[in-house]
Structure 1
Amino acid sequence: MLGASNTAAETCAPDVSVAIVHDWCPAFRGGERVLSELCRLFPAVDVFTLFDFLPPDVKADHFANATFHTSPVNRLPKVEKFYRSLFFLCPFLIEQFDVTGHDVVISSSAAFARGVLTRPDQPHLCYVHSPIRYAWDEQFSYLAQGRLGFGPMGLLFRYLLHNLRTWDTRTAHGPDVMLANSTYVRARIRHIYGRDAEVVFPPVAVDEFDLVVDKDDYYVTASFLAPYKRTDLVIRAFGAMPHRRLVVVGEGQQSRTLRALAGPNVSFTGYLPRRDYIAMVAQARALVFAGCEDFGIALAEAQACGTPLIAFGRGGARDIVRPFGAADAPTGILFEHQTVAAIVEAVEHFEGNRRSMAPEACRQNALRFSADRFRREIREAFFRTLAIHGTGAPLASSPRMPR
């Protein structure tokens, strides 16, 4: 990996001073894997992020060349327990990062990072994980899950989200080049911001996964246990199929609620170390997912070890799954409705046709999402962003940020 990083750094103009702005780093999940790969493209980089809760060993493994800068709010006591509730402050806080002394800005944005203040002559490349989910079309789902109607608290949240939409729209045309992590996000960018974006799929660490052909008899669902992941639907579906076994991998704010829903055929592992997580997914008969992901790195990881997918057919799953009945060498089943009945039907359909979805085909499918491909496409977008400002070399007139 080190050799690949050095090659990437040479290709991406090592004399250019780069600031990477990322919303926040609560844990090393999909967004942070993207951030890690972005950092690998440069010999040294400044990372600006609102909140940073990454442990030292993760920093050493994935961000050895990065210097992290956080917002003042990151120093509040126990902020890791309530930082999400500070969303209404985040536009203001992201605008307080001074990146104007860098040659180039790269933002990795699922919410706020794109709105960082830049100079007019400063190249800005933005990788969009998603427009702000809870501020736009999914506002109503989030409010319903939080039981926020039209009482005083509900009205306050609706007003704060209205203000967030205004800010989000105003900052949408700041980046010179905008990349989307899936065709679904590209469509959302076009609908919300009126901009086109090139699709660059996130990096999947396919080399960490070995192909496993002999599968166990259990199904698995794996994610951060948040409401929008809809793990509740998967658990209820397996409650209607007591003869089939489900393993739920992950922790989150819904952990206690979901455990209360589960029958005796559903077990929970909680958070698993990386090696155990890979083994659990690799040996599963299929991974079942009922949420609408912007991309869904966990889905692509399952394919990398030869595990078929049974997934809701909206969002990034449509980029990942080669659906049975609609593609050669199929790698999974897509269901069209987020309902218990649709999941049950999809699982039974999979059982009747699972020998048509070969582990080898799943593995081959996942190779489309390799980290090498991601770095190559980001390098191309990086130089295209520089070219917009008439340079493919360091911007010598720009002052360097002190390290």
Structure 2
Amino acid sequence: MKVAIVHEWITVVAGSESCFKVFTEIYPEADIFVLVSDEKSVNALGINPKRVKNSFIQKLPKAKKKWKSYLPLFPYAIEQFDLSKYDLIISSSHAVAKGVIVNANQTHICYIYSPIRYAWDLYHQYLKEAGLKTGFKGFLAKSVLHYIRRWDLGTSNRVDEFIPISKYIEKRVWRTYRRESYKVIYPPVSVEEFTFNEKKDDFYLAASRLVPYKKIDLIAETFTRLPEKTLIIIGDGPEMDKIKKKSGPNIQIMGYQKFEVLKDFMQRAKAFIFAAEEDFGIIPIEAQACGTPVIAFGKGGSLETVKGKFVNEFINNDDTGVYFDNQSPASLMAAIEYFEKCNSVFDPVKIREFALTFGKDIFEKNIKETFTEIIEKHKK
């Protein structure tokens, strides 16, 4: 069986690359197709560069660093890959990878992180943050995204089976494409790298890249209103100045830190604060792997990666955190206060046990079994 693995780009090593890497390990002889790649990231994933085939975008100016500038070309570029000699095609997709051209004799499995967010769910937010709501540039951007939405919807039928990363994304796949998913399989998290620690100190922790949708500014504003509580923020990004302005003396902003420092604070924190609406959300699981409970926004992937209750719901020692119901200081404050009332109920051992269900070995087992089932189902 000849196998092709399609991924959008290998220019960073992030969450989706951990899944993609497993696919390349399950099928070590598979050819890999990407829009653009850089040698450093390919080597970091332990992939032989000879396996990687790039699109024509690779040869365009500054493509390895500014690949997103070529967004209008993505649909055309992904369709130029000739995959006609392959029996199985696995697309690892959060943008256009699922749009490769296939034929009736092939099986196409799409492991999907999300339909294209800036063309669908985050369309208006993307235009606003990029300053493209009005003007000629705005008109061009809206036209491109309109074209991409139509292309994205039209290419959904090139996929035989969708495997979404969460139930939240399963709903979005249905809403966007009107396609039933085969099965939800959660991405792998490197839980074994986060050491358990039962003893907690008297501070809260937030850690993230400082970008708008992570809502670290909301967390800072909330703790500024709670001067008796200590918050540590780890991370860097374009929102740094904004967050500093909203932070009181009880908040320590440490900026980017090495892994060992982040892990140490995760192990010792009273609770980890997570205010983003994520498709899945890896970092709350990493905190829980340390035995640390999580206070999370109760929407999106957090409802699956944190085993929690909303304020005033009954918490038992199988739970791993508390949810707040909207992204506002008042809602987060209520969740923090409720967490402190119930803190003694949380069991660090059980919190870690829950996190271990997202380990790489479980992901690999589920993926192998599911791929085999799908291949058998679609045998011609």
- How far, CA to CA, are the matches of 1:169 and 1:47 in structure 2? 24
- Change in Cα spacing, 1:278 to 1:316, as seen in structure 2 (3 Å) is same
Picking from 259, 274, 299, the partner of 1:274 is: 259
Partner residue in 2 for 1:265: 250
Partner residue in 2 for 1:353: 342
Shift of 1:130: 0.8
More RCO (CA 8 Å, sep 6+): 1
Shift of 1:364: 1.1
Report the residue type matching 2:372 in the other structure.
Answer: F
Partner residue in 2 for 1:395: none
Runs of 5+ consecutive residues of structure 2 not aligned to the other structure: none
Q: Deviations over 1:52-102 (max 9, x none)?
A: 24636x725543598222233234454455332332221122222233332
The alignment yields a C-alpha RMSD, in angstroms, of: 2.3
Maintained 8 Å contact 1:223/1:250 = yes
- Change in Cα spacing, 1:241 to 1:69, as seen in structure 2 (3 Å) is farther
- How far, CA to CA, are the matches of 1:253 and 1:84 in structure 2? 18
Residues 164-243 of structure 1: pairs in structure 2 closer than 5 A: 164-197=148-181, 198-243=183-228
Picking from 29, 48, 58, the partner of 1:44 is: 29
SS at match of 2:9: coil
Q: Deviations over 1:227-250 (max 9, x none)?
A: 222222122222222332222233
- Change in Cα spacing, 1:333 to 1:178, as seen in structure 2 (3 Å) is same
User: Which region of structure 1 is more displaced relative to structure 2, 257-266 or 196-205?
Assistant: 257-266
Partner residue in 2 for 1:333: 322
SS at match of 2:91: strand
- Change in Cα spacing, 1:359 to 1:287, as seen in structure 2 (3 Å) is same
- How far, CA to CA, are the matches of 2:38 and 2:201 in structure 1? 36
Partner residue in 1 for 2:361: 372
- How far, CA to CA, are the matches of 1:180 and 1:274 in structure 2? 29
- How far, CA to CA, are the matches of 2:82 and 2:232 in structure 1? 46
The percentage of counterpart residues that share the same residue type is 37
Shift of 1:319: 0.7
- How far, CA to CA, are the matches of 2:340 and 2:195 in structure 1? 24
Residues 313-332 of structure 1: pairs in structure 2 closer than 5 A: 313-324=298-309, 325=313, 328=316, 329-332=318-321
Partner residue in 2 for 1:17: 2
SS at match of 2:157: coil
- Change in Cα spacing, 1:75 to 1:355, as seen in structure 2 (3 Å) is farther
Partner residue in 1 for 2:234: 249
Maintained 8 Å contact 1:39/1:66 = no
Report the residue type matching 2:187 in the other structure.
Answer: P
Q: Deviations over 1:319-353 (max 9, x none)?
A: 12111435641111111101122122212221222
SS at match of 1:119: coil
Q: Deviations over 1:198-242 (max 9, x none)?
A: 111111122222211112222222223332222221222222223
- How far, CA to CA, are the matches of 2:61 and 2:241 in structure 1? 25
Q: Deviations over 1:97-152 (max 9, x none)?
A: 23333221111111111111222211111101111111112212222333332332
SS at match of 1:369: coil
Report the residue type matching 1:90 in the other structure.
Answer: F
Shift of 1:312: 0.8
- How far, CA to CA, are the matches of 1:200 and 1:38 in structure 2? 13
Q: Residue 131 in 1 paired to residue 120 in 2?
A: no
- How far, CA to CA, are the matches of 2:245 and 2:55 in structure 1? 38
Runs of 5+ consecutive residues of structure 1 not aligned to the other structure: 1-15, 392-403
- How far, CA to CA, are the matches of 1:100 and 1:165 in structure 2? 26
- Change in Cα spacing, 1:19 to 1:142, as seen in structure 2 (3 Å) is same
Partner residue in 1 for 2:56: 72
- How far, CA to CA, are the matches of 1:67 and 1:259 in structure 2? 45
- How far, CA to CA, are the matches of 1:144 and 1:28 in structure 2? 28
- Change in Cα spacing, 1:215 to 1:75, as seen in structure 2 (3 Å) is farther
- How far, CA to CA, are the matches of 1:353 and 1:24 in structure 2? 44
Q: Residue 97 in 1 paired to residue 81 in 2?
A: yes
- Change in Cα spacing, 1:261 to 1:61, as seen in structure 2 (3 Å) is same
- How far, CA to CA, are the matches of 2:237 and 2:250 in structure 1? 21
- How far, CA to CA, are the matches of 2:252 and 2:227 in structure 1? 12
- Change in Cα spacing, 1:99 to 1:79, as seen in structure 2 (3 Å) is same
